[in-house]
Amino acid sequence: MNVRNSIFAALIFMALLMAFIPADTILKFKLSPDRMLAEVREDMYMIHPDQVADMIIAKDPSLQLIDLRTPEEYAKFHLEGAYNIPLSRILDKDNLPVFNQDIRVNVLYTNGSTDAQAGWMLLRQLGFKNNYVLQGGLNYWTETILNPEKPSDLQADDEIARYDFRKGASQHFGGAPAPSSSDAAGTAPKPIIKQKKKKAPQGGC
Amino acid sequence: MNPYIAGILLGLVLIASFFVSGRGLGASGAMKSSVVAVVNTVAPDYAAQDAFYSKYVQNGQKPLKAWLVFEVLGVLIGGFLSGAVSGRLKLGIEKGPRITDRRRLILALAGGLLFGFGSQLGRGCTSGSALTGMAILSSAGFLSMMAIFGTGFAVAYFFRKNWI
Amino acid sequence: MGPLAPLEIISGDWNLFLALIIGIAFGFVLEQAGFSSTRKLAGVFYGYDMVVLKVFFTAAVTGMLGLLYLSLFGWIDLNLTYVNPLYLGSTIAGGVIMGVGFIVGGFCPGTSVCAAAIGKIDAMVFVGGIFLGVFLFAELYPLIESFYMSGYLGSPKVFQSLGIRMGVFALLLTLVAVIMFIVAEKVEKFVNKGA
């Protein structure tokens, strides 16, 4: 009888503790792979350079650029107002509050977009929202904003409008030369995401 | 063995199962795999185009190379070992005091048939759906458990002659 | 950090091998608990032996708490664990049929394998019945398919369906289980004194 009672007591005690710990603390891993794949495929986490340029010029206060490259690369060139948090330090205790908030829109970038995407996935796994990836990274930024391609005269009006915008933005940003593409996916407008395939567990019958 | 201790040990095995494979325990799935394997061996073309069997044999899958098949083989071995160390190995038929051996075997066959059918319909049996489902807190698991035990209690009266 | 196989920390073949080991532990515990005896199993429905209730719910509660604590310590990612899907019609119907099967046959698939392993012929016949039942289902599948696939509600967690917090549900389940155990023991005493 004593064994039985101590087992009952132990189980109730452990359950009692669980009742008082918030679910967020118990479930450390916020996003299932299926959900993450859905978000990746929707591409909603990417921001086009046009949009970012617009926000910078308009001095949009919600924008926060985050440069995930090394301090050396950051020193050589970085986008206006960007913080430098190297990818290797993205999970540091001091840096997490930057990503875990819902006031500012963090746009992560690197030279291409592979590392920025990796950074986004890490943060998304932790359940953080409000973090986005600069589509195509600095390489694409250079192509579109700093050295915009002049459309042919036969192009549609919106193409020309976009070109004008980019030319103006280019002036603003000083049309600086492109940094080296140290991480892949460089110039393609729709970068291909290399996602680590996690096999979902089989189960049931 | 004290049932509560047995329960804790069973719970630990369940946790180990999740930790290793991401899934809980089960049993009926192995029987399903065996049936599929037999049908596939005897009539592979039929299996390949049938709505039920084809799911398990497409792309050259081996239906017997399934997690549950290995697990159930283990149950066979574990049960035997336990019976061996506890002196419970004995060939025979166990039944309620008021019925014959023959009746018991017929009932066993019928019960197995119902369970085979029901476990496929319910996508799991007491181990796979109810027990595992409750540990992982799935609604299907709890519903399954309530349906199985609820029905058992409901019809127990009509079958009491077989047991008591 | 787990679960090992979905995270590819162990290979598929190791996973199968460990399935065997886990199965051995499963079978051993089941048999030690007395679940290789059909009369003990049926006892929960008649009150003379409540071992099924005690073992089953203790295991469920232990498993539940264990998984939650493992997740709390960061040792398992519960997102990667399999949650069985809910198809309203077939889950309930299947459960009802299995309930009848339990009373008629006195076993469930796991325990029947266990009992067969120690020489119970009725258990072996039960296992044979399972094969037939699966085969019957497979052959009747075209007729059953639409019902089988109906009422799909995803893979909800029970506390979500009930709209209460996870930790609170865990506590409630544990308390309910302990109360059931105490009641079950009283029932056992009562039934066995009378009979």
pLDDT at A19: 92
Domain segments of chain C: what residues? Answer: 1-32, 35-194
One-letter identity of residue A146: L
CA distance C131 to C112: 12
Chain A contact present for B55, CB below 8 A = no
- Determine the residue among A1, A16, A21, A28 to mutate to test chain C binding: the one whose Cβ has the most chain C Cβ atoms within 10 Å: A28
Cα-trace Rg, chain B: 18
Mean pLDDT of chain B: 93
User: To the nearest whole angstrom, how far is the Cα of B100 from the nearest Cα of chain A?
Assistant: 34
CA distance A196 to A33: 10
pLDDT at B164: 86
Contacts of B32 in chain A (CB under 8 A): 205
Residue range C127-177, pLDDT digits in tens: 999 999 999 999 999 999 999 999 888 888 999 889 899 999 999 999 999
Determine, for residues B80 and C128 on separate chains, whether the beta-carbon distance falls below 8 Å.
no
Does the pLDDT at position B64 exceed 70? Answer: yes
Does the pLDDT at position A38 exceed 80? Answer: no
Residue range B99-138, pLDDT digits in tens: 999 999 999 999 999 999 999 999 999 999 999 999 999 9
Residue range B34-51, pLDDT digits in tens: 999 999 999 988 888 888
Nearest-by-Cβ selection for C65 from A15, A30, A203: A15
- Determine the residue among B4, B20, B72 to mutate to test chain A binding: the one whose Cβ has the most chain A Cβ atoms within 10 Å: B4
Mean pLDDT of chain C: 93
What are the tokens at A25?
A: 């603390």
pLDDT at C138: 94
Contacts of C166 in chain A (CB under 8 A): 18, 23, 26-27
Mean pLDDT, residues B82-98 taken together: 93
What share of chain A has pLDDT > 70, as a percent?
78
What domains lie within chain A, and their CATH numbers?
A: 3-22+30-184 (3.40.250.10)
Residue range A61-118, pLDDT digits in tens: 888 899 999 999 998 888 888 889 998 888 887 888 888 777 788 899 988 888 888 8
pTM: 0.74
CA distance B28 to B129: 10
Residue range C93-103, pLDDT digits in tens: 999 999 999 99
Q: pLDDT confidence of C195, banded at 50, 70, 90? A: low
**Mapped to the 3 state alphabet, what secondary structure does C2-66 carry?**
ECCCCCCCCCHHHHHHHHHHHHHHHHHHHHHCCCCCHHHHHHHHHCCCCHHHHHHHHHHHHHHHH
